[in-house]
A and B are shown apart, each in its own frame.
Chain A
């Protein structure tokens, strides 16, 4: 009885692993399968065809797409985390009348769905003359509620003496923030940075509506352009293009998986 249930549990574990991993595996193997072999089904590639990557790279302006994705992701994540750090420090350490009420108003923005603000925000950046600019892609997404919330919760757990001592020494708040609070909040700062990076990299609908020329598109939008212009027929090259988008995130995930998982599931345990 006992060995049987253990065996069943391991079978279950393998089933979960296979189901989760197969699409990723299929993406990687198809991307190195030559076009004539794609029509003969095979579980394991018998030969490796790198030409798909050359064709995939040529099927859209990938150099430009990469440049734009990197700019939008790095700038967006960096600005967002700076904004979050400043406001979380204020809510955690500075006095202000009705501070909790102000905090509630900030938190309320979390309830605003992205789909609802899509059209009004497009009209706003149009009025600002930001359509098809980096500012237009980046700025509407750098306001921060969740990262601010996580950082504030973390800052509130820091020992009070740290900030008190720093202030008695005559240090300004900016210096306390930079020299004391930030170093002590490093795990949480790293968490919100990687989560922001992943979200900006994958973001699709906002870059889609806020840009209008190839020169400003990001990688996910470029994928859509390939489909619109030539359709998905040369699957090997299409998969190679998808690999261009997925691999950076996979690498970041396997380096910082603990932080990413903790950051994305934080709302569940602390809400």
Chain B
């Protein structure tokens, strides 16, 4: 085990509350407990400090430089990268694409996910099997399944073309068509996430108070009114949670994009995560990669904070 890593006693003394009472024995035991606490959290603390918190600081600094990640000196350029990015229509296009992609996946997941959840919430034979199978796409490798979808979307021999032809539609070239590639990705992400969203909604549905429905039904409310006036409002914390999780996930979408489009054709599927990757590891432009990453970070923090505030308000309502 990892208890070898002994923090200094000075640190423990510093945190000892002043005016300590108790016998020397009690105090010694307490101090040993503090030390043990530090030893137990030390591995995780070091890892999170080095690989989660420090990168934020380091990234912020790099965003103020113009560096090719190779040369020994790192030229400081102030806010030039930001000025550059925000005056570049291509970067705004990246942001717009990300919002479109994320929004489409979120809306699709919420609507279809809730519908599937309500269906699976009925007493139907085989619903557990359907629940399990529809969750499966969520845990399969995005690279492997992206490859399968690439084959499904193949304009010559793909399954999608055959199915669409059966209903009399001449399908697009999907991933090689710059106006359709994004919608192909949206479809893949819906497929990957709807089962997950449905399971989360099911947990929410099972927690709804049945007496409220009975009372409303006695008052003559129909199924649509019940849904709109009771189910939807009471599920709003779940909806908020799913929205935030899906936004965070789609902003970071990478593996499926990497295998299916490489951000293309042209820039048609270059979302913010692909943009950051490209700047850092293909263009070796640490400054723009850092600035792009910080913009993404700020957006995601703002969205998460909004959810946290919403949840707090809900607690006060009850």
**Chain A neighbourhood of B207, CB < 8 A:** 269
**Chain B neighbourhood of A173, CB < 8 A:** 36, 40
Within 8 A of A (CB), among B231-269: 238, 241-242, 245, 248, 251-252, 254-255, 258-259
Q: How far is the CA of A96 from the CA of B90 in the complex (A)?
A: 51
A116 CB contact (under 8 Å) in B59, B145, B150: B59
Closest to B159 in A: A26
* A242 interface residue per 8 A CB criterion: yes
A198 smallest CB distance to B (angstroms): 5
* Contact A117–B259 (Cβ < 8 Å): no
Within 8 A of A (CB), among B162-190: 162
B69 smallest CB distance to A (angstroms): 7
A179 smallest CB distance to B (angstroms): 14
B293 CB contact (under 8 Å) in A116, A205, A260: A116
* B155 interface residue per 8 A CB criterion: no
* B276 interface residue per 8 A CB criterion: yes
* A38 interface residue per 8 A CB criterion: yes
Within 8 A of B (CB), among A222-261: 223-224, 227, 232, 235, 238-239, 241-243, 245-246, 249-250, 253-254, 257, 260-261
* B191 interface residue per 8 A CB criterion: yes
* A104 interface residue per 8 A CB criterion: no
* B2 interface residue per 8 A CB criterion: yes
B190 smallest CB distance to A (angstroms): 10
* Contact B116–A41 (Cβ < 8 Å): no
* B294 interface residue per 8 A CB criterion: yes
* A2 interface residue per 8 A CB criterion: no
Q: How far is the CA of A30 from the CA of B148 in the complex (A)?
A: 9
What 1/0 mask marks residues of chain B from 262 to 298 whose CB sits below 8 Å from any chain A CB? 0000000000110011001100001001100110110
* Contact A115–B1 (Cβ < 8 Å): no
A177 smallest CB distance to B (angstroms): 9
The interface on chain A, measured as residues whose beta carbon lies within 8 A of the other chain's beta carbons, has a size of 93
A117 CB contact (under 8 Å) in B59, B138, B145: B59
**Chain A neighbourhood of B281, CB < 8 A:** 119, 122, 209
Known contacts: A120-B59, A245-B144. The answer to whether A16 contacts B139 by CB under 8 A is no
B108 smallest CB distance to A (angstroms): 12
**Chain B neighbourhood of A156, CB < 8 A:** none
What 1/0 mask marks residues of chain A from 186 to 203 whose CB sits below 8 Å from any chain B CB? 000000000000100110
Closest to A140 in B: B51
B128 smallest CB distance to A (angstroms): 10
Segment among B76-84, B99-107, B196-204, B213-221 that sits at the interface with chain A: B196-204
Within 8 A of B (CB), among A1-53: 9-10, 12-13, 16-17, 19-24, 26-27, 30, 38-39, 41
* B151 interface residue per 8 A CB criterion: yes
* Contact A16–B52 (Cβ < 8 Å): no
* Contact A90–B40 (Cβ < 8 Å): yes
**Chain A neighbourhood of B138, CB < 8 A:** 264
A242 CB contact (under 8 Å) in B47, B59, B147: B147
Within 8 A of A (CB), among B82-134: 116, 119-120, 122, 124, 126-127, 129-130, 132-134
* Contact A90–B203 (Cβ < 8 Å): no
A-B pairs with beta carbons under 8 Å apart, 28 shown: A13-B120, A16-B119, A20-B191, A23-B148, A23-B149, A41-B157, A82-B43, A87-B45, A89-B40, A94-B33, A94-B36, A96-B34, A98-B15, A106-B44, A115-B272, A115-B273, A117-B56, A119-B276, A124-B50, A124-B54, A173-B36, A174-B1, A202-B140, A202-B142, A204-B258, A261-B199, A267-B241, A268-B241
Q: Report A's interface with B, CB cutoff 8 A.
A: 9-10, 12-13, 16-17, 19-24, 26-27, 30, 38-39, 41, 82-84, 86-87, 89-91, 94-99, 102, 106, 109, 111-124, 139-145, 148, 173-174, 198, 201-202, 204-205, 208-209, 219-220, 223-224, 227, 232, 235, 238-239, 241-243, 245-246, 249-250, 253-254, 257, 260-261, 264-265, 267-269, 271
Q: Report B's interface with A, CB cutoff 8 A.
A: 1-3, 15-17, 30, 33-34, 36-38, 40-41, 43-45, 47-48, 50-56, 58-59, 62, 69, 116, 119-120, 122, 124, 126-127, 129-130, 132-145, 147-152, 154, 156-157, 159, 162, 191, 194-196, 199-200, 203-204, 207, 238, 241-242, 245, 248, 251-252, 254-255, 258-259, 272-273, 276-277, 280-281, 286, 289-290, 293-294, 296-297, 300-301, 304, 311
> Apart from A20-B194, A205-B258, what are 9 other A-B pairs with CB-CB below 8 Å?
A23-B152, A24-B140, A89-B40, A109-B53, A113-B252, A123-B69, A139-B51, A220-B255, A265-B203
